[in-house]
Structure 1
C-alpha cells in the first residue's frame, strides 16, 4: 500500500456503547469538601507556627534591649530615667531609649536628633526613625503615629499654660512597642502633682528624674520587671520623645502594671500584647520571659516595684 493510500484510511470511531468517563458533580463536591476540611485543619497549625516564630523574634528583640540596658547601667551607674527634659521651657522630653541607642547600634540617630530643633516632626522623618529592635512582630504596626493635644477635660491642672481649646496634631513620632516599667501608677498622673512631689513618682525601674540601680531592687534583678510591651491597639507609643501637651504623653514612653497583662477592660497605659496567654517582659537581670495574663494582680504589681512588699 502506498503512502498516499495510508493517509486516506478512515479514522476508527469509538463504539457506540463505549463512554468517555469524567467526574460527576457529586464527586467534585466531595473532593472540594475534603480539601476544605484539610485546609481547615492545617490553617490553625500554620497560624500557630507563624505566631510562635513571631513571639520568638519578639523575645529576641527584647533580650537585645535587656542587654543594652545592662550595658547602660554599667556605663552610667543606673538604668535610664523615663524621660529627660530637652528644652528650658520643659515642653519636650527625650525618651529613656535614647540612652541605649549606642548599645542597639543606632548611635547615628542619637547624634543627629535634637528635640528642640526637630519637633514638630513630620511623618516622613518619623517613618525613617522607626527602629525594628523596639517593635513586636506580632503587632499590627504603623511606622509612625500623630501625637495630638490632650482633650480639654483631661488637661493637667498644673505645669503648662494651655492656650487653645481645640485638639491639634503636635508631632508625628516613630512607633515603639517596648516600654519602660514605670511601676504600679500611671505616668501621666505626674502632671497633676506639685513640682516638688514629682521626683518620687513611680515605683518601678524606669522612672522620672532618677537612675535606678540594681542595688535598689530589693526583690532582686531576676524578679523585677524592667521593660514590657504594649500593642498599638491601646495607646501608640514611641522611643524618641514627647511633647508634654500631648494626650497621655508620658504613657507613650512607659507603662504601668496595675491589673494583668492583656486586660481588655483596663487602662490604656497598661502593658498588653497580641501574644496569646500573656506579654513578654525583659527583667532587670537581662532575661526575657512571658508574664501570663492569668497572673494574680498583686503578684504582678509586686514584680513591677523596686521595693519588696508583703509578697515575698
Structure 2
C-alpha cells in the first residue's frame, strides 16, 4: 500500500519538477539573450552599426563571428584578451580562445557540447557522407546565432541576406525600416541541428557561415528544416531576441509568412 502511494506521488510530482526545471532553464536562456541584446545596443552606440556577421581575416582563410565584437560589452574581457583578430582564427595565438565557451552563449536546456570539430565541406553537398578527412579545427560551442534573413548564407552569393547579420557587411539599426520591435536579430540553435559557435569559422569548412548565422524559412524546431535554420530544446518554442532588445519565445506553430517577415530588416 505504502509503495503504491509513493509510486503514485512520484508519478504526479516528477513531471511537475521537470516542468519547473525547464521553466527555470527557459528564463536563464532568455536572460542570456537579453544580455546579448544589451551588448549589441552598447556596441551600436559606440560604433554606429551592428557587428559584422562574420569578418574574414587577411588571408581569407577564416572569419571571426559577430559575437567576438561584443565580448567587452558582456563583461567577458578575460576572453576578449585571448583573441588575436589581426591574424587567422586557427593560428596558435587563438588556440586558447577556441576552447572557451562563455556561459552567456549557452542555453542550459541544450546538453553542453563545449567544443566541436569542424570538417571540410564535402565535395558533393547533396549527398551526405561520413567524415573521412581530418578536422580543420576545433571550435567553442554556442546556442545563439545572428539572423541572416530568409536565404541560406552558405548558398547566397556575397552572403548578403535580408536580415541583420551578414557576411563582410555591417548593418545600422536605422536600416531596419520594419521597426525594431518587428525584426529578429538573434535566435537559438541546438547542437543536434548544427553545432554552432560564437568565435568564427574556417571559410572552407562544412556549413561555414552557418556556424555563426542562421536563417528563418520554415519555422523553429521543424524536422524538415535546413540544418542552418533555428531550433531549441524548449518544448514547443524557441527564444528570439528582437532588435529593440526584447526577448520572446516563438511557437513552433508560428505562421510561416510572419516568421519569414520577422527575419527581414526591410
Residue aligning to 2:79: 109
Question: Equivalent residue for 2:44?
Answer: 73
Q: Is structure 2 residue 209 aligned with structure 1 residue 247?
A: no
| Structure of greater Rg | 1
Q: How does 1:171-186 map to 2 (within 5 A)?
A: 171-186=137-152
* 1:133-154 Cα shifts (integer Å, max 9, x gaps): 0110111121100111111102
More displaced stretch, 213-222 vs 61-70: 213-222
Is 1:221 the counterpart of 2:180 in the alignment?
yes
Q: For residues 127 and 86 of structure 1, what CA distance do their matches in structure 2 show?
A: 16
Q: How many equivalent residue pairs? A: 261
C-alpha spacing 1:62/1:34, structure 2 compared with 1 (3 Å):
same
User: Structure 1, unaligned stretches of length 5 or more?
Assistant: 1-29, 156-164, 308-312
Does residue 286 of structure 1 match 2:256?
A: no
Which ranges of 4 or more aligned residues in structure 1 deviate by more than 3 Å? 115-118, 124-128
* 1:95 correspondence with 2:65: yes
5 Å-filtered alignment, 1:72-221, equals 72-88=43-59, 90-114=60-84, 116=87, 119=90, 125=96, 128-154=99-125, 167-190=133-156, 193=157, 198=158, 201-221=160-180
TM-score, normalised to structure 2, is 0.92
The residue number in structure 1 matching 2:9 is 38
Instruction: Give distance in 1, aligned partners of 2:192 and 2:155.
Output: 21
Following TM superposition, by how much is the alpha carbon of 1:245 offset from its aligned partner in structure 2, in angstroms?
1.5
CA distance in 1, matches of 2:228, 2:99: 26
Q: 1:280-299: per-residue Cα shift (whole Å, max 9, x none)?
A: 01110111111111101100
Task: Report the secondary structure of 2:253's partner residue.
Answer: coil
RMSD of aligned residue pairs (Cα, Å): 2.1
Runs of 5+ in structure 2 lacking a partner? none
Distance 1:126 1:210 in 2: 24
TM superposition shift of 1:125: 3.6
Q: CA deviation at 1:167?
A: 2.4
Alpha-carbon distance in 2 for matches of 1:54, 1:266: 24
Q: Deviations over 1:184-228 (max 9, x none)?
A: 0111113xx3xxxx16x2110111222211111111001110110
